[in-house]
Structures are given as C-alpha cells and as structure tokens.
Structure 1
C-alpha cells in the first residue's frame, strides 16, 4: 500500500479506480496531453490504458498518487507518479499531470517534491529520472525546480524526449533549500 502525503496545500493519496473519471476528463483536454503520446482520443483504449495503470503493481513504494487541494478535498487536481520508466524499467521515473485549472500555482512542484522525498528517504533510490518532451516548457521548469538536470535525449513512442535526472545526494543537498 502506498503512503498518503500532505503538503502545505495538497493531499496526495494512492490513485484508485474511483479516480478514473477524473483522470479520463483531464486527459480529454488536448492542452493537458499535448506533449504526451497516448490513446487520449480513443475512449475504449484510453479507459483500458488507465485501468491498467491504476491496478498495476509497480513494486513496493511505487505507483501513482492522486492530488487534491486541502481547501477542497474533492477537487481532483491531477496525479504524480513514481514508477519504473515507461512502466517497465529498469530506471525509476517521476512524472506529473495536472488539470489545466491547476497550472501555474506550483502544485506540480509541491506534489513531486513529496514523492521525491519518498523515493530517496524511504525507498533509498540512487537516482530518479523524468523524460520530458522538449517543447513542454512548464514540465521542464518543474523538473529544474526539483533539481533535475538534462542528461541525454531519449525516445518515447518514436518521439524525442529529454531525459532529466537527479540523484539522492543532489536531492538531499537541494532539500535544505525547500
């Protein structure tokens, strides 16, 4: 079972099937999925993909967390993940997706910071990656705020992505600045 996290403004709880409609609605916004290839325009494939991701066992301490505002605990803001890269590994990746109404408020950084703390302090991972499409300036900025830096180019579903990385020592050094 994944832990639940609380930050100053957010509650992150393990994503569950009760979140599927909120996730489907978020992914139907073309601005939200603009930089992420996926089955977003095929309702059946999209639901099947999400069901698989929600019910998968990614390993101890790994998975997805749904993000909610503390001020409105019913308001689904998005999710953050810590799973094997592209769900197969071997590297462990962090990622985030938020509803457009939650953009520009620092929620992605705040949520991802909690999950990175879990990755390094609890799971004792050596490093974590984030693969981000080159044009996704907002996600690149979140990665930079978290202390991740670009390492190399990679591909996801035959599209170019930049692979960002942070190791435990760098995170622990940066953690004192939070």
Structure 2
C-alpha cells in the first residue's frame, strides 16, 4: 500500500477506484488531455485503461496519488504518478494531471516536490524521468521548478516530447539534502 502525504496546502492519497469517475471526467476534458496520447475518445477503451491503471501494482512505493486541497478535502483536483516509464520501466517516471479549475495554483509543483522526496529518500530510485509535449508549457514549467533538467528532444508514443531527468545527486543538490 502506498503512503499518503501532506504538503502545506494538499493531501495526497493512493488513487483508488473511488476516484474512477473523477479521473474519467478529468480525462474527458480535451484541454486537460490535449498533449497526452490516450484512448480518450473511445469510452470503452478509456474506461478499461483507467481501471487497469488504478488497480495495477507498479512495485513498492510506486503508483498514483490523488490530490485534494486541504481547504476542500473532498474536491478531487487531479493526480500525480511515480511509476515505471510507460508502466513497464526500467526507468521511473513522474507525471501529473490536474483538472482545469486547479491550473495555475502551484498544486502540481507542490505535489511533485513531495513525490520526488518520496522517490529519492524512501523508494531509493537512482533517477526520475519525465517526457513532456513541447507545446505543454505549464508542465515544462513544473518540471523545471521541481529541478528536473532538460536533456533533449525525443519521441514518446509517436509524439515529439521534451525529455527531463533528475538523479539522486541532482535531488540532493537542488533541495540541499
């Protein structure tokens, strides 16, 4: 079982099937999934994909966390992940998806900082990666704010992306630990 976390403004808990409808609704917002390939337009495949991702075990300390603001603890704002890259590995990826109403509030950055701490201090991963669509400037800003380093342009699922990396040493240098 994944641990739950608190930050200054957020509560993060392991994502469960109780979050299914909120996740599904978030994915159906074409602005939210604009830069993310997935089965968003096929309801059957979308529901199957989401159900599998929620129920899958990604390994000790890895998975998805649902994000809730402390001031409205029942309001699902999105999720953050720390899983094997593409669900397979061996690289470990970090990613986030938030409802549009939660954009621009710093929630993704705040949640990602806490999950990075978990990745490096608790799980003991050697490095974390993130591939971000080159036009997804808000996610690029989050990656840079949390200390990930741009390492080059590449392709992910047939789409162009900007690749970011953080090693354990980078984490220590960036966060002074």
TM-score with structure 2 setting the length: 0.97
For residues 65-95 of structure 1, the C-alpha deviation after alignment (integer angstroms, 9 at most, x for no partner) is 0000101111000000000001011100000
What RMSD over aligned residues (CA atoms) do the two structures have, in Å?
Answer: 1.0
Cα deviation, residue 176, structure 1? 3.6
Q: Give the match for residue 10 of structure 2.
A: 10
Aligned counterparts of 2:150 and 2:3: Cα–Cα separation in 1: 29
Indicate the SS of the match to 1:138. helix
Aligned counterparts of 1:174 and 1:162: Cα–Cα separation in 2: 20
Cα deviation, residue 152, structure 1? 2.5
Moved over 2 A (4+): none
Aligned counterparts of 1:92 and 1:154: Cα–Cα separation in 2: 17
Q: Give the match for residue 139 of structure 1.
A: 139
Aligned counterparts of 1:22 and 1:85: Cα–Cα separation in 2: 24
In terms of mean alpha carbon deviation, does 154-163 or 25-34 score higher? Answer: 154-163
Cα deviation, residue 153, structure 1? 2.5
Q: Give the match for residue 36 of structure 1.
A: 36
Aligned counterparts of 1:153 and 1:20: Cα–Cα separation in 2: 33
Aligned counterparts of 1:148 and 1:80: Cα–Cα separation in 2: 16
Number of residue-to-residue matches in the alignment: 177
Cα deviation, residue 162, structure 1? 1.5
1:71-150 equivalences under 5 Å are 71-150=71-150
- Where structure 1 has 5 or more consecutive residues not aligned to the other structure, the ranges are none
